[in-house]
Amino acid sequence: MTDPFIQAQQLRTQALFAVHDANRSFVERGWSDPVHVAGRTALDSVLLGLAQAKWGLGQADGTHREFAAAASDVQAAVEEARRGFERSIAACENIRLACEAGSPPNPVQRPELRRSAEIQFAGHVPLVPTICPVVVLQGSNAEMGWQYAQQVIDIYGPWVFAQQAKRTFTDTEALEITRWEAELQRLTPDVLAFASGMAQGCTDAGLPMTRQQAVAIWTGIRPPAREARPMAFAQMEGDSDARITAAYLGVAASTLTAETDMCSGICAWGRATADGSLIAGSSTDHDCTFQATIVAFPEEGHPFIYTPFSANGSIPVLGNFHMAGHPGMNAAGLAYVHHGGANTGEPQAQWGYGVRRGPATFHLLQFSSDAADARARLQAFPVGDAGISLGTVGGLFADAQSGFSLESRPGAPHSAHPIVREHSLDALGNTFDFLYANNNAMAPESGHLNCPPDAGYRYTVAGGWFTLDWNAIQSEPGPKAFRRLNTRSSEGRNRYAYSRMMMRYGSIDLAYMKEVYRQSGEMPSGTLEHIQRLWQNGTPWNSSTAHRGNAFTAVMQPRRGEGGRYLGCVGPAHRAVQPRGPEHGYHYFDETNTFSELELQHSPEAVLEAALALAHERLERGRAAMDALTPDHPAFSQFSRWLEEADHALAGITVARAVDPATTRARQLAGIARSLRSAVRAQVRSTQVIEAIASM
């Protein structure tokens, strides 16, 4: 008899594929077609019910333990989730059949929507914001940690930190936190102060949190790995329950393929770009969760912008990533583009305690003056917990003069032979001023990284180290299979990044990088089973860094001083992109598929002023674009609602410098942050109208 958890997880995967098929049935039709408009509306209703089913299953199988209390009646919760997935599958099938027949699908009954704090809920289930929220911090690191906790609670409500605040630790777990904390104190005391501030900020918001609980967000509770571990085995704190493993795979063991959640990053500078400046793009690739972009003005170091994967450091199903994320940039013109793709390159005997990727990235963005400085600082860290994803320092960094991707540091902090990429190459060995990374090793000397099969990996200049051999991928289960599968998926995305950078070498600009992250890869025709067979038979895949698995898509143009630009989009930046491979990807309620924009200025007030100016400009352009439509246009009502939302968001915003000087600085910053969130909402809604009408 099938385990009810496995059955529910199978249905979850089937529902995600059904959503994908429903979206494909109308997405290419465009806004002038009533089928497209009705299809989007109907699918949004399905996505609300699907969000409820996913949340309920997560409460039952433990994969949402950082976000929600465990189900009181596990059997009932699994059964309700199962019914929710079945309803989603049936509704998606009705949408698909209607759209393929050229008829607008019937409306789908949706759960009650309500608003709490600043986000929407489907019943009791929180929904991922369709526009990434922003927090604004200033002062000492302890003050910024306090402000971070307070502002994140303003956005989401106390529940976002409630599970962390309830955690208790065994003596063994407490000892591990103490050991990791000692490394933070020694190497990144600024991050430890930030964590202490978070604890106090939660406590002052009525959610008592100890310093130990806050520090654990940045460190985890486990000792360093003694063997390579994939995400579910490594990050899901507390156990390696078979239900969690199956949830990470997304399917039962008999399934032909798995959805592997990965990321991408590309940067170009110097000779590659139109004006010699740094241009970068990146995506985080997973089911997007509750995140917040940080705009920080520390009293020591450089102002910076950074988006962790999650506001509380954890991703449902995948687990705790210790505040890791990407991308980030600072006012010195430095960018952290991506985590770099390679891992397990240091000898296993050297793995141990150190600093996780999240705290290291915070520290480097705050204190590094350029790429060379960031590289020197990185190489001074110990090897750390190299056996898990993002368990230690590393990554792809760049400025307007140079870039590097640090793939391995054997012997660190005294590594005599680190593996560092500084340029991309052609077959003749010529160097080019761009770098990119997905989830495999790229340097010619990195063939031993990422758990190669017995026959080794293949190497190409554009694709890096990879295998397309399904038998080699599956020859050893668990962590090695995951890393090999990552190389298979990465190879095509690497070729895409390489070709797109070479295509416009010498004239790459921000607009072009946006195009790169909106251009879909190819998908072979045929049934899912046929496509999966092609994948497993080793057919090369012309995939793209822009795909349905994108959780957060960003492009940047950092600058030294003022004026660096940071553009972010929840989900893919184009709705019609294909998945990376024979996968379902992820879809979001009310997804916008366009970018908000922040400009890093000299003060929080100046950041707000720049965002407001752009919001007003976009709103005027949106209104002008609407003049070309008549009220009988199929999308007229939807576009009008977006412009009304933009207008409402801007109504009543006052520039923060006019705030009563008697107000505490923390309250002023909270007000600036709220206004900034309204400004970027107005930007996005107006831009949706502009881009939709331009596409017709």
Q: Is the pLDDT of residue 233 over 70?
A: no
> How far is it, in rounded angstroms, from Cα 148 to Cα 287?
23
Q: Could you give the dihedral angle defined by the CA atoms of residues 582, 584, 586 and 591, in that order, rounded to the nearest 10 degrees?
A: 100
CA–CA gap between residue 577 and residue 585 (Å, rounded)? 10
* pLDDT one-digit tens code per residue, 88-104: 999 999 999 999 999 99
pTM: 0.96
Identify the residue with better confidence: 654 or 194.
Answer: 194
According to the model, what pLDDT value does residue 617 have?
98
Write down the pLDDT at residue 660.
64
The identity of residue 258, as a single letter, is: A
Q: What is the pLDDT of residue 527?
A: 87
Q: Is the peptide bond before 413 cis (omega within 30 degrees of 0)?
A: yes
pLDDT at 244 over 70: no
Question: Which amino acid, residue 364?
Answer: L
Q: What is the per-residue pLDDT across 459-508, written as a single tens digit (0 to 9) for each?
A: 999 999 999 999 999 888 777 888 888 899 899 999 999 999 999 999 99
- Comparing CA positions, the residue from 41, 43, 38 lying closest to residue 23 is 43
Q: How much is the pLDDT for 255?
A: 40
pLDDT > 70: what percent of the chain? 94
Contact between residue 293 and residue 554 where contact means Cβ atoms under 8 Å apart: no
pLDDT per position as a tens digit, 74-133: 999 999 999 999 999 999 999 999 999 999 999 999 999 999 999 999 999 999 999 999
User: CB 610: neighbour CB atoms within 10 A?
Assistant: 20
Q: 16-65 pLDDT, tens per residue?
A: 999 999 999 999 999 999 999 999 999 999 999 999 999 999 999 989 99
User: Can you tell me whether residue 126 is helix, strand or coil?
Assistant: strand
Residue 95: partners with Cβ closer than 8 Å, 6 or more residues away: 22, 25, 26, 39, 42, 43, 46, 105, 108
Of 484-488, 586-590, 619-623, where does mean pLDDT reach its minimum?
Answer: 484-488
* pLDDT surpasses 50 at 523: yes
Sorted by sequence, the CB contacts under 8 Å of residue 236 that are 6+ apart come out as 62, 63, 244, 248, 318, 319, 320
Q: Could you give the CA distance from residue 200 to residue 439 in angstroms, rounded to a whole number?
A: 37
Angle at CA of residue 626, ends 623 and 628, nearest 5°: 135
Written as six digits, the tokens of 369 are: 């003056």
Question: What are the start-end ranges of the H helices in 581-660?
Answer: 604-626, 636-650
The residue written with tokens 């309920």 in the block is 56
